[in-house]
Amino acid sequence: MNFEKFVAKRLHTEKNLQHSISKPILKMAIAAVSLSITVMILAIATGKGLQEKISAKVTGFTSDIQVAVLDLNQSLEVAPILADSSLLQKFYNIDGVAHIQTQITKNGLIKTETEFEGIVIKGIDENFDWSFVNSHLIEGNCPKYQSSKKSNSVLISQKLSQKMSLGVNDNALFYFQGKNNNQPFVRKFKIEGIYETGIELFDDLYVFADQKHLRKMNRWSENQCSSIELKVKEGFDHQQVLAEVENNSPFDTRVMSAQDSYSQIFDWIKLFDMNIGIILLIMIIVACINMISSLLIIILERTKMIGLMKAIGAAQISIKKIFLYHAFYLLRKGLILGNGIGLSLIGIQHFFAPIQLDPEHYYVKSLPVLLSPENWLMINLFSIVICMSMLIIPSLLIQKVDPIKALRYE
């Protein structure tokens, strides 16, 4: 067995620690390391969980990439783009494109006998991917649109449902501005279902309807739409797919990612990375200070042993290794304890969700957690490397120990 490890393990045994005056301080060091690891795990898991959940909601509602006509119109009602079969086939041939759908956006007004509210109609067709909306369906069903006939079924948000006192199977009048400021169009739609994403930007405004109604109001041809939406396959580089879409798009179009379209949301969740970084830095500093303090106390307590080992010819580096191994064993205890607590708390939150959030501020009802194996390994490896590197500083005190003075030390 390695000599330094053998001596360090003997020093670390419960019997030796029991008679050590530094035992309470060593326990504090272990507690500080375990607390730091726990907080770091929770910080990364909650921060990455929120980023993943919120970005998935935005891209799920709007798609990953949108292709629309290039103009200076900043409103939701833009000039139409021609989504003919040749253009759609070009997009389908791009490696990484999972699904393509068209949509027409139009401002409108929903009115009942007692209430009215401004809305945005998102006109979709039979090719629309309902997977995201289905996962956020509160009541009723998603409308089923067909290419052969118009449907008067719509899907509204829970907020609009509550504001307008509308439920499933209720009817409501929808008003739209006429072409060239003519008389408004009035349509009577039936509420087929109610959804809730938790994102105010969508829940306050958007209603899903059959785009055939909007196309007729706008006097557009069958292949014209407000934008073409593309979903990217999981595991593919979104920026690379975006660049390919741009290369295959007509010269008079603009190609935008969901991050570009909703930059205010994505800029906000990017701030989580800075918060996580600050927390990690503070926790690493706390762990390092406590480990340095504990190692200094161990060295001072074992001054006589250091002097004796020097007197019998032990090398400086060998003595340093003994105390660094001893400190590592303390660090290991803290890591095991901290990982156990941190992973347990994440598991409890993932399966039982005891911590709830206000959806108006955080866009989610419960605190999401996400800890990848890479992030977990990064926390532990960085903690070990940084703490052990910092412990080299107090170990230099061993060089200053004079064997003669040390053997007289009381």
**Tokens 């375990």 correspond to what residue?**
34
Rounded Cα distance between 343 and 356, Å, is 19
Contact of 43 with 225, CB cutoff 8 Å: no
DSSP letter string, 243-291: HHHHHHS-TTEEEEEHHHHTHHHHHHHHHHHHHHHHHHHHHHHHHHHHH
Q: CA nearest 323: which of 298, 356, 348?
A: 298
Buried b (16+ CB within 10 A) or exposed e, 36-53: bbbbbbbbbbbbbbbbeb
Residue 125: count other Cβ atoms within 10 Å of its Cβ: 17
Q: CA nearest 39: which of 208, 276, 249?
A: 276
pLDDT at residue number 159: 92
Contact of 369 with 49, CB cutoff 8 Å: yes
pLDDT at residue number 76: 62
Q: CA nearest 214: which of 52, 131, 105?
A: 105
Reduced to 3 states (helix: H, G, I; strand: E, B; else coil), residue 334 is helix
pLDDT at residue number 325: 86
Instruction: Write the burial class of residue 141 (CB in 10 Å: 0-12 exposed, 13-18 middle, 19+ buried).
Output: middle
Q: CA nearest 331: which of 21, 37, 15?
A: 37
Instruction: Write the burial class of residue 169 (CB in 10 Å: 0-12 exposed, 13-18 middle, 19+ buried).
Output: exposed
pLDDT at residue number 28: 86
**Furthest-apart CA atoms within the chain: distance in Å:** 104
Q: Name the strand (E) or helix (H) holding 193.
A: strand 185-195
Rounded Cα distance between 121 and 266, Å, is 24
Residue 232: count other Cβ atoms within 10 Å of its Cβ: 24
- pTM, to two decimals: 0.85
Type of residue numbered 13: T
Contacts of 298 (CB under 8 A, 6+ apart): 11, 22, 26, 323, 326, 327
Contact of 78 with 246, CB cutoff 8 Å: no
Question: How confident is the chain (410 residues) per 10-residue block, as mean pLDDT?
Answer: 74 61 79 94 95 92 92 72 92 94 93 88 94 94 91 94 92 84 84 92 93 92 93 92 94 92 90 92 92 84 78 81 86 94 96 89 89 95 92 81 62
Contact of 79 with 73, CB cutoff 8 Å: yes
Rounded Cα distance between 204 and 115, Å, is 15
For the chain, what's the residue count? 410
Contacts of 88 (CB under 8 A, 6+ apart): 100, 228
Dig out the tokens for 212 from the structure: 């055939």
Type of residue numbered 307: G
